[in-house]
Amino acid sequence: MIIYFVRHGESEANKENFHHTPGVPLSGLGLQQARILAKRFKNIPIDLIYSSPMARAKQTAEEISKEIHVSIEYWDDLSEVRRPAEIRGKDINDEKVVKIKQIIEQNRNKKNYHFSDEENFEDINKRTQKVLEHLENKHENQTILCVSHSTYIKALVGRIIFGGNLTEKIFKEMRKHMWAKNTGITICEKHPKYGWQLNTWNDASHL
């Protein structure tokens, strides 16, 4: 089984530097990026496209689907890591946003801590496990493309590399040091002998 994890194209939130809400669309550049990305998959046999239902991922998946004529299934579990409602749609540098993020960071080591309705590490880890188990059970001998989001793809890759040994500390370092470009392609493979492997991280050479 081979899985292509793809980040969406540039969104209006990426462009204007504010925190996403689910309905934020691709920017004009992001739509161009998605169309260029789609052409990379023209000669790669894909059995199915899964996509986050968030607008920016959905638009990216639709461009790929149009190019390669493969159907899309929208999957909530591929959505981006959920931030607190208090910061969604707000400027990244807003004083209140910065303060909330500081509070969350100060309490990050508390296993069951939530500022409000955001996902914490335990929530994210459970969701990634669910996604990988579904892919393993339903698509053993297939090639699947999953359109998702920067932080969540990092979480999936963390689970693939470290399995149950992934910790909050490791994930924090992954988020900090593993930059994910818009429309970057990450390729993972479930090998019958060696298990999960990371073959390629965030290839955006098409841009």
Q: Which two tokens stand for residue 47?
A: 């059995």
Q: Is residue 111's pLDDT more than 90?
A: no
Domain total in the chain = 1
Nearest-angstrom CA–CA distance, 34 and 167? 33
CB burial string 119-137: b at 16+ within 10 A, e below: bbbeebbebbeebbeebee
Residue 114 placed within a domain:
no
Using the 8-state DSSP alphabet, how is residue 110 labeled? S
Residue 135 placed within a domain:
yes
- 202 closest CA partner among 153, 132, 129, 135: 153
Residue 63 placed within a domain:
yes
Residue 111 placed within a domain:
no
Residues 201, 74, 41, CA angle at the centre, nearest 5°?
A: 45
Q: What is the CATH number of the domain that holds 135?
A: 3.40.50.1240
Give the model confidence (pLDDT) of 14-64 as tens digits: 999 999 999 999 999 999 999 999 999 999 999 999 999 999 999 999 999
Q: Measuring CA to CA, how many Å separate 175 from each of 45, 95, 135, 172?
A: 31, 22, 23, 5
Residue 35 placed within a domain:
yes
- 127 closest CA partner among 82, 192, 173, 162: 82
Nearest-angstrom CA–CA distance, 49 and 36? 17
Residue 129 placed within a domain:
yes
Residues 160, 149, 92, CA angle at the centre, nearest 5°?
A: 125
Q: Residue 109's pLDDT is what? A: 84
Global pTM reads 0.96
Domain range enclosing 178: 2-83+125-203
Residue 78 placed within a domain:
yes
Residue 107 placed within a domain:
no
> Where is 186: in which H helix or E strand?
strand 185-191
Give the model confidence (pLDDT) of 132-176 as tens digits: 999 999 999 999 999 999 999 999 999 999 999 999 999 999 999
